[in-house]
Structure 1
């Protein structure tokens, strides 16, 4: 039987509840720390191709013909395909107005963080929720990430989501 734990050493709860000392949290932060890999420039350009003004423009970009659709190679095209699919899933959430209300943490994890997860990078494991003891998490939570993209279709009440 094995267990694994994901700890956010920047979560103040550990100090408030005397779970860890500041020096222990510092040790956790720095123990075998790995750098987040840089995204290749061509992938950044592809991601930015979805940074448009309207949902209609974003839809056109999502469904525009792409070479990977004709000759998909998993090792070459997976990231681009994942980006396009993620943008499409988030666009559907936005267009259905589901992001305008507070939701249970599980809903956020399933509908928002699920589409932002990847094997090498996970915003979901870096989320800093405010008021962890509350059953509802307001959409004022922030993800602590070193690099993140913000898209124009993000509604005003989520503008600080990734800051």
Structure 2
């Protein structure tokens, strides 16, 4: 009980920065790991991703990508 409710709200809102929206493809990728058992999670972890080939070919280390 150090701060009043008004002061707590002021602290919370001081220099508040809204987080950017997560790209849909990243959200979809992260959600692919929402499994209910270890078997499903293991399958998702070892599933081949399209971007993985680019990473393994070191194409993601270039200054820019031609899309």
TM-score by length of 2: 0.64
Over the aligned positions, Cα root-mean-square deviation in angstroms equals: 1.9
Which of 26, 39, 43 lines up with 1:56 in the alignment? Answer: 39
Q: Identify, as 1 or 2, the structure richer in helix.
A: 2
What is the CA distance between 1:59 and its match in structure 2? 0.7
How many Å separate the matches in 2 of 1:31 and 1:50? 35
In the other structure, the counterpart of 1:109 is none
Counterpart check, 1:23 vs 2:12: no
How many Å separate the matches in 1 of 2:36 and 2:10? 44
In the other structure, the counterpart of 1:39 is 22
Counterpart check, 1:66 vs 2:34: no
Higher RCO structure (Cα 8 Å, ≥6 apart): 1
What is the CA distance between 1:55 and its match in structure 2? 0.9
The structure having more radius of gyration, on CA atoms, is: 2
- 3-state SS of paired residue (2:47): coil
Q: Identify, as 1 or 2, the structure richer in strand.
A: 1
1:36-87 Cα deviation digits (max 9, x unpaired): 222111111111212233211211110122233322126xxxxxxxxxxxxx
How many Å separate the matches in 1 of 2:35 and 2:13? 38
- 3-state SS of paired residue (2:39): helix
Q: Structure 1 runs of 4+ off > 6 angstroms?
A: none
Question: Gaps (5+ residues) in structure 2?
Answer: 62-67
